Amino acid sequence: MKASQLILGTQRENPADAEITSHQLMIRAGLIRQVSSGIYNWLPIGKKVLHKVENIIRNGMDSSGAQEILMPMVQPASLWEKSGRIDQYGQELLIFFDRHENKFCLGPTHEEIITDLCKNLLTSYKQLPVTLYQIQTKFRDEIRPRFGVMRSREFIMKDAYSFDLNKTGLDESYSLMREAYIEIFKDLGLDYRIVKADSGAIGGSDSEEFHVLADSGEDLLAFSDKSDYAINAELLTELQEGQDPLSLEGKPSPDGKGVLKLKKGIEVGHIFKLGTKYSEVLNLRIQGEDQDIYPEMGCYGIGASRIVAAAIEQNHDEKGIVWPESLAPFKVALVEVNSKNNQKVKEKCEEIYALLRENNVDTLWDDRDKRPGVKFADMEVIGIPLTIIIGERTIESGHIEIKKRQDEKPELVSHQDLLSIILS
RNA sequence: CGGGGCGUGGCGCAGUCUGGUAGCGCACCACACUGGGGGUGUGGUGGUCGCUGGUUCAAAUCCAGCCGUCCCGACCA
């Protein structure tokens, strides 16, 4: 992609109403623009990153054997009346009426829809176990949206739902999905932790959260320094009857091993065992070997759009975003410096750009007629992992300059070595 | 919903107290110079000053109501 043709949307100054780093950088780097409180446009660079997140999730889900579907964002309110959650969810559920005065809501989650779908779809226990998932826009009319896409009203989420014959099966589906999540977070390249969690409004029994560690995180997590014990600090204080979560630091771990250490995290994934809660209230019965059963359900969410923000919270410096390679919108920025006075600069860039394209290296060629400083600053705020710099200097030296995003100075490499360095 | 802040060109802001018909920086367009870290000059484009009503000869400025948005809190993936 040539930068001269890309709608970049980078901004030099922080927007006045963005408080946290990821929000500021997402706007300055041209990832998002706000439409309304908690509602955002995703610009080309942002959409590329979001797409990468989605695909990593998709690959992880597919290889676990889950099957992708797509459910509607608009849901009949009657299903929520049946499940009883229309009152429980309250004002977070955005309700409206169609031209026939039928009552609908925008889906904040899809337990009702998937359970209803499976009433027709699943007819025999032989179809179990099965896990279905989607990557889709959710809407929750948050009391107070904040921090850009970190806590927005409209957001992109992967939600998966498993159906099993019995509790043993649910345990297996749950741990299969847990493993898939571990694989996904490894692929995302983020520093994360799994903690015991409260199952909240979704309901059900066992539940764990996946948190991206970041000082700006809204959740406080407690870890034993001697064992694998890890829990959302808020849940632990509830269990221990209302202490201040911060007071947990240094206290003995509830599992008897070591003392508790606290870290802040951003919740980006949550897995639940639902049991038969929804299958019973929505009457999803499946023919078993000798009698009908209510399938044991699990549900598994990952906040795709939130991951983009969380990744930035964890990976940035004073110049801008420093993407992990897995999420970078481009792998390489090719910056031409002062090509006006030296036709060879342009020619060299064309040659390298063609080489990178042939080798499927996603490259942003900054061919704009701008001062070098402007180009460097843009490539840095966007956070592209590698920058190749071509100018008169490099033409004369017969070498190519290549700089890693986190490095201060570029290194000189030969044309022959360039590709292997980039592909390594 | 309670408390606080803010709404003036795409972005950041001044002007509001003390009413006189809108300005600065960045960005953008044109030209020239410049050319390895956000360069310089000249000339431009772009604004119903959040909305509605009121006061006044005159309102960005004063008054009232409303709306939007951000932050803190309760709540929440």
Mind listing the pLDDT tens digit for each residue in A194-212?
999 876 655 566 899 999 9
Residue A242 has pLDDT above 90, yes or no: no
Give the pLDDT score at A203.
54
Instruction: Give residues 57-86 of chain A lying near strand B (Cβ < 7 A).
Output: none
What's residue A205's pLDDT? 67
Distance A28 CA to B11 C1' (A): 10
pLDDT at A61: 98
Q: What percent of chain A lies above the pLDDT cut of 90?
A: 88
The backbone torsions φ and ψ at residue A405, rounded to the nearest 5 degrees and listed phi first, read -55, -40
| Pairing verdict, β A219-224 and A260-275 | antiparallel
Residues of A 118-147 whose CB lies less than 7 Å from any atom of strand B: 140, 142-147
Q: Which residue has the higher pLDDT, A28 or A202?
A: A28
Residue at the smallest CA–C1' distance to nucleotide B37: A373
A87-91, A183-187, A227-231: range with lowest mean pLDDT: A87-91
Average pLDDT over residues A87-105: 92
CB atoms within 10 A of CB A289: 9
Beta carbons of A131 and A161 less than 8 angstroms apart? yes
pLDDT of residue A5: 95
- Beta bridge mates, A266: A212
Average pLDDT over residues A232-250: 81
How far apart, in whole angstroms, are the C-alpha atoms of residue A356 and residue A350? 10
> Residues A32-43: what's their mean pLDDT?
95
The answer to whether residue A360 scores a pLDDT higher than 70 is: yes
Reported ipTM: the value is 0.94
Which pLDDT tens digit goes with each residue over A123-156? 999 999 999 999 999 999 999 999 999 999 999 9
Give the closest nucleotide to A266 (alpha carbon vs C1').
B77
pTM, full prediction: 0.96
Distance A104 CA to B68 C1' (A): 26
Is the model's pLDDT at A268 over the cut of 90? yes
Question: Residue A383: left if φ>0, alpha if ψ -120 to 50, beta else—which one?
Answer: left
What does the alpha-carbon distance between residue A408 and residue A116 come to, in Å, rounded to a whole number? 56
Paired with A364 in beta bridges are A333
Task: Calculate the dihedral angle through the C-alpha atoms of A188, A191, A196, A202, rounding to the nearest 10 degrees.
Answer: -40
Strand B atom within 7 Å of A279 CB: no
Q: Is the pLDDT of residue A341 over 60?
A: yes
Work out the average pLDDT over A407-423: 95
Chain B, protein-covered positions (CB within 7 A): 1, 5-6, 11-13, 25-27, 34-39, 68-77
Beta carbons within 10 angstroms of residue A418's beta carbon: 17
pLDDT of residue A239: 77
Residue-averaged pLDDT of chain A: 94
Taking the CA of residue A408 and the C1' sugar atom of nucleotide B41, their distance in angstroms comes to 33
